[in-house]
Amino acid sequence: MRAFEQPGGAALHKWLNRCDNATFSALTFRGGSAWREAMLRDAPAFGEQARALKALVERHSDEELHVLMTDLGGHCFETLLEAFEHAASTDRRTVFIAYTVKGHGLPLAGHRDNHGLFLAPAQVDALRARLGLSAADEWEPFSALVDGQIARQLLEAAPINRVPTRSHGLAERVDVPLDLAPTVGGALAKPTSTQAAFGNVLKAVAQSEAPLADRIVTACPDVTTTTGLSGFVNKRGVFTTGRAHADPFKTARAHSLTNWATRSDGQHIELGIAENNLCLLLAAMGLSAPLFGQRLFPIGAGARRERAAPHRCGRAPRARCAAPHRAAVLLTRVSPHTRRTGTLYDPFVSRALDSLNYACYMDSRFMLVGTPSGISLAPEGGAHQSFNTPLIGMAMPNLRMYEPAFADEVKVLMRAGFECMQAPAAEGGSAVYLRLSTRVLEQPARELMTDDALRADMVAGAYWHAPPDETTTHVIAFAGAVAPEAFEAAARRGPQTALLQVTSYDALASAWQSEGERSHAHRVLERVPRDAKLVTVLDGHPAALSWLGGVCGHRVRALGVASFGQSADIVDLYRAHGIDAEAIVSACAP
């Protein structure tokens, strides 16, 4: 009989409504006599209903009263199964708020301190005895049950138990083209940034017929527009679970860089600016292979809504530097999807760090693109300049981090990334993190696609621009956007200074950790005379590269960014943090 429908039910209901959670908990813990005591004590205040309430209490034994009062929907199979069955008749998302008792069925039920409490051994003995169990059969799954055998059959026949396994393991490998984007890089490459190169590679993939292209899904926390991602989005469309919609701007022939038309076969998922959602979406999509047997390549890209326009600083001999030219207000309110301006700046990897950690803990496979990064984001100021993300990338298991400096490296490392995302964990498979920049650099004239050894070195984490010989006295090792400064310093130092580029401090360090003298880092640095000095530099925390000195026992001077930044141009900021060419040259002094 339902409690509120029996005589005195209305009074019971009233009493319950006056009973706060803590009192309810305490009474649940103390049991039948406590319920009786409390209700009888309160009854006189119930006027006409007092007698009915008393009668209800007195009709029940202590045990019955306890059962009645703790008979909650979350412990009632009829109620739960009905609720689940009802919800199962549609595909609508549903929340169930199930009233339960913490510690249900145990002596510590209801006590508010029970979260960290354990049953005392004597209580366990009493419970064991109550269930008719002995030490001999206490672990048996169906012992001492009235209908043990039938219960076993019921569980064996449970719908979820129908298939041998629910894990798909490794999905079919998707072929990754050797050259993802023939138009990117090469002997005639124009100055560009790694962020722009990333967008161009994706655009080229989107336009290709490669099976890989159909498996890529991009997601972006509200920052797709005017970045390289637009190319991919325009070609492949925005995904919707609902009806396809044309972009009103396109229909109205108003110029806009991105086509926000949605369609059910779109390959871009546009998210709000909350970075946690980006990483959690990547976590879920990156499990597509084991959960659904279908490989996806989710790419979570954050990039800023700005146009990068180069302007020379005139100091670097082989590369020119440029601060991004702001045009940020240009494209606000492009569509209902982009109400706010914002981006997954590299520093906001930290904001989604727990979600990223979670995704990696589950060994989910995705490509996270943190861009733009570092103090090279100069005028944008200290709140948006990341400097400790290299250390995050190095320390996070199941995540391979790359920081390219040049466009052709971006496509080589993205290709390696796509392979890494689908490799078994035992073979080094993992998620991938690219740390990119909006700083426009002059590109090296080279045909990377014909140089297998160079590509292999890049993927392994480091390669020589100017290799060492027995006369070498100094090595400048740099990563990422500080390439022009490193090149200038090396040129000023002369031929006795070798120049090493690190494309992945993460890959380099983890291989050194596990393989020691057989590692790429060791192979690279054993060529350097023992009394030569290493000067490392990057637009990030110096600890990301300073360990290189320990590989073969070289002296080291590590340059980098170890304090918060501020608004300025690149020239001033690099000088302030001691990562400009001048600082590199002086660091080479004995």
> What is the C-alpha separation between 367 and 433, in angstroms, rounded?
6
Residues 308 and 196 sit within 8 Å (Cβ to Cβ) = yes
Instruction: Give the type of residue at 272.
Output: G
Residues 408 and 443 sit within 8 Å (Cβ to Cβ) = yes
Q: What is the DSSP code (8-state) at residue 346?
A: G
In the complex, what is the shortest distance from the CB of residue 143 to other proteins, in angstroms, rounded to a whole number?
8
- Which residues, at least 6 apart from 204, have a Cβ–Cβ distance to it below 8 Å? 180, 181, 182, 183, 184
Residues 468 and 529 sit within 8 Å (Cβ to Cβ) = yes
> What is the C-alpha separation between 295 and 216, in angstroms, rounded?
9
Q: What angle do CA 511, 513, 518 make, to 5 degrees?
A: 55
Residue 80 burial (10 A CB sphere; 0-12, 13-18, 19+)? middle
Q: What is the DSSP code (8-state) at residue 446?
A: B
- Which residues, at least 6 apart from 281, have a Cβ–Cβ distance to it below 8 Å? 219, 269, 271, 298, 300
> What is the C-alpha separation between 301 and 314, in angstroms, rounded?
31
Q: What is the DSSP code (8-state) at residue 284?
A: H
In the complex, what is the shortest distance from the CB of residue 542 to other proteins, in angstroms, rounded to a whole number?
30
Q: What is the DSSP code (8-state) at residue 482?
A: G
Q: Which residues, in sequence order, are bridge partners of residue 466? A: 499
Tokens of 48: 């006409």
CA 476 to chain centre: 33
Tokens of 170: 């490794």
Q: Where are the beta strands (DSSP E) in 291-389?
A: 297-301, 367-370
Buried b (16+ CB within 10 A) or exposed e, 28-59: bbebbebbbebbeebbeebeebbebbbebbee
Phi-psi region of 293 (alpha: psi -120 to 50; beta: other; left: phi over 0): left
Q: Which residues, in sequence order, are bridge partners of residue 502? A: 462
Of 536, 531, 535, 506, the closest CA to residue 519 belongs to: 506
Instruction: Compute and round to an integer the Cα radius of gyration of the chain.
Output: 32
Q: Note if the bond before 211 is cis, omega within 30 degrees.
A: no
Residue whose structure tokens are 């000088």: 575
> What is the C-alpha separation between 95 and 177, in angstroms, rounded?
44
Phi-psi region of 578 (alpha: psi -120 to 50; beta: other; left: phi over 0): left
Label the pairing between strands 497-502 and 462-466. antiparallel
> What is the C-alpha separation between 304 and 307, in angstroms, rounded?
8
> What is the C-alpha separation between 57 and 46, in angstroms, rounded?
14
